[in-house]
Structure formats: C-alpha cells, structure tokens
Amino acid sequence: MIYLNELNDKQREAASRIEGPVLVIAGAGSGKTKTITTRIANMIATGIDSQSILAVTFTNKAAKEMKERIHKTLSQGKNPVNSMPFVGTFHSFCVRFLREELKSNFVIYDSDDQLSLIKGAMKELEIDDKQFKPSSVQAAISSAKNEMLSAEKFSQKAEGYFQETIAKVFKKYEDELEKANSLDFDDLLSKTVTLLETKPEILEKYQERYKYITVDEYQDTNFAQYKIINMLARKYRNLCVVGDDQQSIYSFRGADFRNILNFEKDYPEAKIVLLEENYRSTKTILNAANKVISKNTVKRDKNLWTQNADGCLINAVLSSNERQEADFAATEIKRLAREERTKLSQCCIMYRTNAQSRAAEEALIKNQLPYQLIGGLRFYERKEIKDILAYVRMVFNPKDQISIQRVLNVPTRGMGKYEKIYGQIVARLLSGKTEPLETAGDVVPLETGPHINNSLFPHFAIDGHDTKNNDLKLKESLGVRGKKLELLKKFADLINEIKSATTAESGSLTHLIKNIVSKTNYEQHLVADYQDAENRIENIKELFSVTSTYDHLPLEEGLKSFLENTALVSDTDNIDEYSDKVQVMTVHASKGLEFDAVFVLAMEEGVFPHSRSSLNPAELEEERRLCYVAITRARKHLYLMFAMRRRLFGAVLANSPSRFLFDIPQELVSYRQLNDISDGLLEIEY
C-alpha cells in the first residue's frame, strides 16, 4: 500500500500487523494518530469489512481527527470509500449500544444535572451540605460506579459514617435517575458492562459485529472501559491498543495506567511496537522531558529521540509575584509574534489548577491580546443554552424531572418555590396521566413530613380527604386547585403545543428550538431580566447553527443525536482552530495538543507538584508525568515560570522552586530573573 511508505519503520510495523493483539507504545509527538489511522485504512484496503472495525478514543476532537485521516488515507487508493468504521469516544459507543439494546429514549445528565439531583437527594434525606459537600458526594458516587459498584453493593461494603451517608444518597440518587428515565456519564459505561456480563447473547452479537478493535490512549482507561474492551475482544483477540504510560495523568477520574503496563499479561501473544522517534520538539526540549520522567520508578522503559535541531535553551524565569509572571508571559508572546511571526494560537499559557487562570487572563487583557480560555464556561454550560436544552429534553423525555424543574418558572410563571412537587405533576400531565402519585410523600419535600399540611402549603387543599389514600384522583390527592393547577396544565399544554407545531411544520430540530424560543417568549425574558441580553440572544442564534446540521434527520432521530453529542462535549472540543488567539488552559487540558511556545506557570513546590503529592509516592509520580506532558507540548520554545511569592487560594505563598526544575540538566536551561518593580517590566536580568 502506497500510504504505508509514508511511515517510518516502527510505524509501518505497527500499521501492517492486523491479526492478533498489538501494543503500540507511542511516545509524545511520535506520530501515534498517523500510525493508527493508517493501520485502520490498511485493514479496510486489504479487504476487511469496515463495519467490523471499532475504534475508540476519549474526546470528540480526537475521534473527528481520526475519521478525517482514515477517509483521507483511503481516498488515496483506487477504490472509492463506501463506508467508514465506527470511530468515536467510549461514551458515544456506549450510548449507541444502550439505545440499541435498551430501546429507551433516556436522557444523559451532565455534571450540573447530576449535582442538582444529588443536592435534592441530600435535602430530602436531611443531610447537611456543609458537612458533606455535594461535589464530594458526586465524586464518591462516580468513583463507585467506575469500579462497577451498584448502590446496593456500595451500601453493603460501606464502612464508617461517611460511606454509610454516601450510600443513602447513592440509593436515593439512583431512584431519582430511574424515575426521570435518565443516565449519568458513569451509567453509560457501567450499564454497558452489566449488559455484556449478564447477557451472553448480546456479548456474542457485538463480538461478531466488531472483530477488530483499536483503542487510543489506552493508559487513560478506567476499570469499566477496560472491561468493555476486553470482553468484546475476548473471542477474536484482534485488539490493538495505543498509548504511553508516561502520559497517564487522569487517575483522579479513575484512569489506571496499569491497564497498559499489564497488557502483555492479558495477551501473552501480543506484538509490542515502540514508537520512540519524536517529530514535534527540539532536542533540548525532548532531553529535558526525558530527564524529568526518568525519575519515575513505575514505567515502561523507552528513549524518546528526535532528528530535529537542538533549538534554543529552555527559559526558567523567576518573577516576584504571579502578576509579574503573567505580564512577562504576555509580553514575550507579543515579542514572538512580532519578531518570529509566531501565531497567537501557537502560544499556550498553562497551569496546574484552574484557579491560576485569573492572573494570566488579566495580563492578556492588559496587553490587548485575544485569548481562548479552555475549561472555562463552555458554550453548552451557559444559562440560556441550558434553559433551551431543558425544553428540548422535556419534549424528548417527559419524565426528565431536572429539566422540568429548571424551566418550570423560566420565564416567570408564578409557580412559587415547590419545583419538585410541581415538576412531578407536570411529568404526569405530559404523560397523559391523571392517576395519583404513589404516595403523597413522593411529592412533598421531606421537611413537611409524609402528609400534605395545609398550613405549610396554603395553595394546597385537603378537601376532606385522607392524603394517604392512593385511590384519589391527581387533583384530590395533591389538593392542587384553582390558579396553581391551571398554571401547571397551561405549562404542560405549552410543551405539547411546541411539539405538535414542530411536527406540523417540518419536524426539524431547528424548528423545534425556534418554536421553544418563540412560544415561551424566551428572548423577551432575556431582554427584561439581563443587561447582556444581546450576547445571550446571539448564543441562541449560534445554537441554530449547531442544530441545522441535524435537520436532515427525522425529528426523533435528530433529537437523540443532538442531545447525545451535546452531553458528550469536552473542553478541548471547544477549541477554535481557525481563530488566532492565545490558548489558556490547565496542563490536564493540554493533553494531545501541541504549540510553538508553551508557558508553564507556577513551577513551585506545593503548586506543581501539588501539595497533596508530597507524602504519596504514587501521586508524586503522576505529578511528574503531568510535568512531562506539559514539557512535551512545546515545539520550539518552553518557558518554565516560578515566583518568589504567589497569591493563591486566598493566601500568599512563598514556595521554593519545583523539584522538576532541578531534574533538568543546567546546560539545557537559561535562567532569568525579572526586576522587582512596581509598574511592570523594564528589563530582564540574565
């Protein structure tokens, strides 16, 4: 195949091995994506059915790039490209799998939705959110699901007050998800595992469907992802995994780099290929990275090398504080743009934690440099977009309590504060049901007790009936009457009207959202209540641009695809590749990216490496891998910054320089100290 000639010897070896298990250890900048996409194209060109190939990765951006490269490579051949294999994220594969096997219009709850549900569960269980932070509870539940622990299993294993409390919330949270016909991100993985484990006929179907499997960034897989892949590959064993244990930086979200280290134990017959030639960085940058990572003890040995030039020395820059540090970075970016014609988009300021972005943003604004903050407020997290999406999800899934509660009073409809009660009534009305809820206690906040108390709820009336009697009609059992009942019915009628109007017009997704905006008077609501209404309306118009790409599909199918894709968007998917702006992000977010110039802020003990790693060797090794990732993002220029004093997390820190700086041989570094002057930078001392 002609395109195999474009690979180096090791890349070609990996791309040519089709049958059996293959482990490709791909160092930073070694052409990993080119290798695996050429390998997939080679499989198709040699006669393997594209529909029998499954390729999974971790971001939509990576999946898109893989698909484009496979198509481009195949287009070089004589035969037309008739069909493409499935290439997507783990979560997108699981969504497709669950849709097919569960035959359900479930909604995927994002992290904000999950947090809302957890807060509601904690409130009903009378758990103090100051003693138990909802975000910590959310993380604990997520961790349990990634370890394939159900609420029941978690409860059985729970030890101590903390875990026992988490178990109670976990059970309530799962009950609420089921009522709303919703899944969270972790469910997508865990429920896929459960179905494959408990339904042999389903497992066999997918083993026969996907006889050839490729996994990108295998070092980032968690336990559930590991199980999915290895169950699917068990029969034919045509599994190719690609990754680098030295770039494993996501243990906080369950990633286990031992999966890649133990691949040969799982597949003793595996072919091992090392990609060690780096095409990205200068020799100086690469040598620095190799020295830093060499201090780790748990790793697969390899020696990353390059034919690139030595390049300039690494800049280690000492400033007096975080403001001067950020000012220097901004000033240096302007110099690179002026003197070396470096594009702003090829300059990246990165840091260990999101809290450090403030100083960088202020410096860029001061220097009139446009920038893009990755990991900030994403498009789909903006209030107006989430409001519109909540309406869309209600049309798709009338049981979606979180969405109903979010927009029940948006725009204002005089509903009062009892969103959960009203939400459950609306869900019933949307489903065409008038029978009572299971118990009165299901709709009354916990603090009011299991009975409807007219003194606590003056807009409710008992009408002389026992509220525990399940034979009562909806209106009687809940006692909702008069204006409140009419408002709830009116809201349910509005949602049904929007759905009917859309179907009558064209059935397109864009028409649905335009009807939502129009019939709810949402733009008028923005104008009346927000000073930045114009910007918010522009965001909604931008949403039309997104939804128009789904308008060729039938409404229900378009709805499914759109909601799935928006739910699975990651931070790096929002990078605008066509605008010339300085990129600002955490080191974690920079994984898989590369830039001409990289500025790493706050290279100080307690910040980078993080303070929590000081007493934990495993965490310190991950911090070193994180530093390795930061260094290897740079092509030409690398700036490692540290300050004498730093205001962070409400305190002034005076930390020593990061130990990682001392890992780099001095002959590779140019040390600079900035003058400590009140008004900024006059000159640089060498």
Q: Give catalytic residue positions.
A: 32-33, 216-217, 247, 633
Question: What span, in angstroms and rounded, lies between the C-alpha atoms of 350 and 510?
Answer: 37
Please count the residues of the chain. 686
3-state secondary structure of 228: helix
Q: Is 464 exposed, middle or buried (0-12, 13-18, 19+ CB in 10 A)?
A: exposed
Q: What are residue 56's phi and psi, to 5 degrees? A: -125, 145
Q: Tokens 């800049």 appear where?
A: 315
Distances (CA, A) of 540 to 46, 524, 530, 544: 47, 13, 14, 7
How are beta strands 271-275 and 182-184 bridged, if at all?
A: unpaired
Could you identify the residue written with the tokens 């019915």? 489
Q: Let me know how many helices (H) and strands (E) the chain has, helices first.
A: 27, 18
Note whether 108 and 560 are within 8 A (CB). Answer: no
**Dihedral, 554, 557, 562, 563 alpha carbons, nearest 10:** 140
Q: What is the spatial distance between Cα 660 and Cα 622, in angstroms, rounded to a whole number?
A: 12
| Region label for 149, one of left (φ > 0), alpha (ψ between -120 and 50) or beta (otherwise) | beta
User: Rounded distance, CA 288 to CA 150, Å?
Assistant: 45
Tokens (6 digits) for 364: 């860029």
How far is the C-alpha of 313 from the C-alpha of 598, rounded, in Å?
13
Task: Return d(Cα 177, Cα 183) in angstroms, integer.
Answer: 6
Cα gap 394→387, rounded to integer Å:
11
Strands (E), 207-330: 212-215, 239-243, 271-275, 314-319
661 and 603 Cβ atoms separated by less than 8 Å: yes
Q: How far apart are CA 24 and CA 218, in angstroms?
A: 10
Residue found by looking up tokens 């969103």 in the block: 419
The rounded distance, in Å, linking the Cα atoms of 503 and 468 is 40
The three-state DSSP-derived secondary structure of 367-430 is: CCCCEEECCCCCHHHCHHHHHHHHHHHHHHCCCCHHHHHHHCCCCCCCCCCCHHHHHHHHHHHH
Alpha helix stretches (DSSP H) within 83-159:
90-102, 111-124, 134-146, 151-157
Contact criterion met (CB below 8 Å) for 194 and 34: no
Ramachandran sector of residue 392 (left: φ over 0; alpha: ψ -120 to 50; beta: rest): alpha
State both tokens at 556.
């229900």
- Which residue stretches of 210-294 are H helix? 223-233, 258-261, 263-266, 283-293
